[in-house]
């Protein structure tokens, strides 16, 4: 099993790249986020790899950091999410965005990814809601991946911004909820803050 490749970037296309490792060119499929983080050819890079072995092919999927790779692994555990759809989701949403969208139950946020319709979005929200708390949120090409979010408050505000609220009203609503109940999980905090902003 190939877990990592370090080599020269030979070519970058819309959804994949070729990494030359000692004269052997590996075709690696990746999200647009990872491809954008690659240095220009012919620079040397390191990619974390997930290897998928099928009867007719051995496919390599590359990631700039472990956060994105771990989300890929989690997403592909959901029925109906293959490797291609998982990469589409990771192209549309960063790990931090995924945590916020899933915690907020934002179905529309998930359907921005090609290949994710309303039914699949509901399944993703249902199956992943209880798992996002253990997932990494920081994605950086340097490989610093398991840094915790700055605070539950900032994550809640970020989720509400993704839902279309303005920062001042989102921050005020989250602050009111936390003042009343300081310790609560992120998903509940987002729900309570949304209630604060709902028309009375």
**Three-class DSSP category at 177:** helix
Residue 130 makes CB contacts below 8 A (sequence gap 6+) with none
Predicted pLDDT of residue 174: 86
Q: Three-state SS for 78?
A: coil
Q: 130: closest CA among 47, 73, 187, 65?
A: 187
Which among 80, 70, 94, 67 is positioned nearest to 162, based on CA atoms?
94
Both tokens of residue 138?
A: 């920081």
d(CA 176, CA 169): 11
Q: What is the pLDDT of residue 142?
A: 39
> 4-63 has which fold?
OB fold (Dihydrolipoamide Acetyltransferase, E2P) (2.40.50)
For residue 156, the model assigns a pLDDT of 81
Homologous superfamily assigned to 152-197: Ubiquitin-associated (UBA) domain (1.10.8.10)
Q: What is the DSSP letter of 40?
A: P
In this prediction, residue 143 carries a pLDDT of 39
- Closest to 129 (Cα-Cα) out of 105, 153, 108, 110: 105
How far is it, in rounded angstroms, from Cα 175 to Cα 182? 9
User: What is the C-alpha radius of gyration for the chain, rounded to an integer number of angstroms?
Assistant: 19
* pTM for this predicted structure: 0.67
Domain range summary for the chain, segments of one domain joined by +: 4-63, 152-197
Stretches in the chain below the pLDDT threshold 50: 139-150
């Amino acid at each position: 099993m190939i877990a990592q490749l370090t080599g020269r970037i030979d070519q970058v296309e819309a959804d994949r790249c070729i990494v030359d490792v000692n004269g052997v060119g590996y075709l690696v499929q990746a999200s647009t986020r990872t491809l954008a983080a690659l240095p220009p050819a012919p620079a040397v890079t390191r990619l974390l790899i997930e290897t998928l072995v099928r009867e007719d092919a051995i496919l390599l999927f590359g990631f700039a950091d472990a956060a994105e790779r771990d989300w890929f692994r989690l997403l592909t555990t959901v029925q109906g999410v293959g490797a291609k759809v998982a990469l589409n989701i990771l192209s549309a949403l960063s790990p931090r965005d995924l945590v916020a969208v899933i915690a907020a139950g934002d179905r529309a946020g998930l359907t921005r990814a090609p290949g994710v319709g309303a039914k699949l979005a509901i399944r993703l929200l249902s199956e992943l809601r209880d798992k996002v708390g253990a997932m990494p949120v920081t994605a950086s090409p340097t490989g610093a991946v398991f840094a915790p979010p700055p605070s539950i408050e900032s994550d809640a505000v970020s989720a509400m911004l993704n839902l279309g609220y303005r920062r001042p009203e989102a921050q005020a609503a989250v602050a009111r909820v936390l003042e009343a109940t300081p310790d609560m999980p992120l998903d509940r905090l987002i729900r309570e803050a949304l209630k604060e902003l709902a028309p009375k």
